[in-house]
């Protein structure tokens, strides 16, 4: 995909985001509607989108690259956890939790799959599904611990990780791919059709989040600096790591783009639930999301 195609993809996604914003402003979707839409995406649409990526089968070369991509995902999460030990110590505790969480959790689960599939096709979607496994694990373990201050039930955390719908979709996809079993035509058609709804629904959710924040309040020193860190420095580290692992093409591009995704939208949800600084979290999410509309095409150009 050339740079014009990338900008076209970003423009299409941005139109979907504006549609979600319009739906929220018009009152078509309220907070309850947003919650239902989010649960629908996480529990059904995104897992079907992930499972769809495994239905085409993989050759030995793709398997090898998939393993290296998984390794890169774990190494980058370890790097982020190490940075969190000292990088945000001068911020007040409520904001520190948000910044730590947003460092390890990107919005790759929502925004990442449409971008990876749009730029690299089904191969990109497959690599994105694999690369996001470590992030999902850390999100439900270390990520939640930042907000609950070590009071989380370890068994509950482990259960949440292992039974997360997106990870279950990965398990099923790997099993189907390794066994060579084909899904019944009706079931495969249903999975592909539901998975194809992913781009529109996830962009609607991002637009709904944007609608709840006055844009003139989101620009501040911390939100700008963190956006540079999230959208520029971390994907640069991913680029260096993937190059060192001998990855190129889609196998290098997908980890870089997934790492360069904006802060995870769940930061606002956790901050509100555990009485942290929810407005601050929302500003971080919104500004990094808006700036990613520029930085992601730039990274695509660099990767080309």
Q: Which domains does the chain have, with CATH numbers?
A: 30-200+219-299 (1.20.1530.20)
Q: Which alpha helices (DSSP H) does the chain contain, by range?
A: 3-25, 31-40, 46-54, 60-84, 93-104, 113-138, 144-148, 154-162, 165-179, 185-195, 198-211, 221-228, 234-244, 250-259, 266-273, 278-303
Categorize the per-residue pLDDT at 69 as very low, low, confident or very high, splitting at 50, 70 and 90: very high
pLDDT score, position 261? 93
pLDDT in tens, 273-284: 667 787 888 889
- Which of 5-19, 28-42, 92-106, 124-138 is predicted most confidently? 92-106
Q: 93-102: per-residue pLDDT in tens?
A: 889 999 999 9
pLDDT score for 86: 93
The pLDDT of residue 207 is: 80
pTM of the model: 0.80
Alpha helices in 111-162 (DSSP H): 113-138, 144-148, 154-162
Q: CA–CA separation, 98 vs 106, rounded Å?
A: 12
Supply the pLDDT for residue 59: 65
Q: Give whole-number Cα distances, 290 to 13, 18, 84, 122, 231, in Å.
A: 12, 11, 24, 26, 11
**Is residue 73 pLDDT above 90, yes or no?**
yes
Instruction: Give the chain's length.
Output: 304
Q: Dihedral sign, CA of 26, 118, 253, 182?
A: positive
- Is residue 150's pLDDT more than 60? no
Percent of the chain with pLDDT over 90: 30
What integer pLDDT is reported at residue 182 of this predicted model? Answer: 81
Residue 156 has pLDDT above 80, yes or no: no
Q: Under a CB-based contact definition with an 8 Å cutoff, are residues 241 and 72 in contact?
A: yes
Cα–Cα dist 212/116, whole Å = 27
pLDDT over 80 at 297, yes or no: yes
Confidence of residue 75 (pLDDT cuts 50, 70, 90): very high
Give the pLDDT score at 68: 95
Alpha-carbon gap, residue 47 to 39, rounded angstroms: 12
The average confidence (pLDDT) of the chain is 84
Confidence of residue 57 (pLDDT cuts 50, 70, 90): low
Helix, strand, or coil (residue 263): strand
Specify the higher pLDDT residue, 8 or 191.
Answer: 191
Contact 205, 31 (CB under 8 A): no
CA 169, 137, 178, 122 torsion: positive or negative? positive
Ranges 25-29, 210-214, 252-256: which has the least confidence: 210-214
User: What band does 172 get if pLDDT is binned at 50, 70 and 90?
Assistant: confident
State percent of the chain over pLDDT 70. Answer: 91
């Amino acid at each position: 995909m050339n740079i014009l195609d990338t900008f076209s993809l970003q423009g299409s996604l941005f139109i979907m985001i504006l549609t979600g914003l319009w739906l929220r402003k018009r009152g078509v979707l309220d907070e309850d509607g947003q919650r239902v839409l989010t649960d629908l995406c996480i529990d059904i649409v995104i897992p079907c989108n992930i499972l769809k990526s495994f239905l085409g089968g993989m050759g030995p070369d793709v398997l090898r690259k998939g393993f290296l991509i998984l390794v890169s995902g774990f190494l980058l999460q370890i790097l982020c956890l190490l940075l969190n030990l000292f990088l945000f110590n001068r911020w007040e505790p409520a904001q520190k939790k948000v910044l730590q969480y947003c460092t390890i959790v990107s919005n790759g689960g929502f925004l990442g799959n449409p971008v990876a599939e749009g730029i690299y096709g089904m191969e990109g979607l497959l690599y994105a599904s694999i690369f996001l496994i470590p992030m999902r694990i850390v999100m439900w373990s270390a990520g939640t611990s930042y907000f609950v201050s070590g009071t989380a039930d370890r068994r509950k955390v482990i259960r949440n990780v292992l039974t997360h719908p997106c990870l279950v979709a990965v398990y099923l996809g790997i099993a189907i791919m390794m066994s060579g079993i084909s899904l019944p035509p009706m079931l495969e058609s249903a999975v592909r059709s539901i998975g194809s709804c992913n781009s529109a629904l996830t962009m609607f959710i991002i637009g709904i989040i944007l609608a709840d924040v006055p844009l003139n309040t989101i620009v501040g020193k911390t939100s700008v600096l963190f956006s540079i860190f999230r959208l520029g420095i971390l994907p640069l580290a991913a680029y260096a790591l993937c190059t060192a692992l001998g990855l190129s093409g889609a196998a290098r591009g997908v980890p870089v783009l997934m790492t360069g995704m904006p802060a995870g939208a769940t930061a606002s949800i956790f901050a509100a639930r555990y009485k942290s600084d929810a407005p601050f979290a929302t500003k971080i999410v919104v500004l990094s999301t808006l700036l990613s509309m520029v930085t992601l095409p730039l990274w695509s150009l660099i990767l080309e």
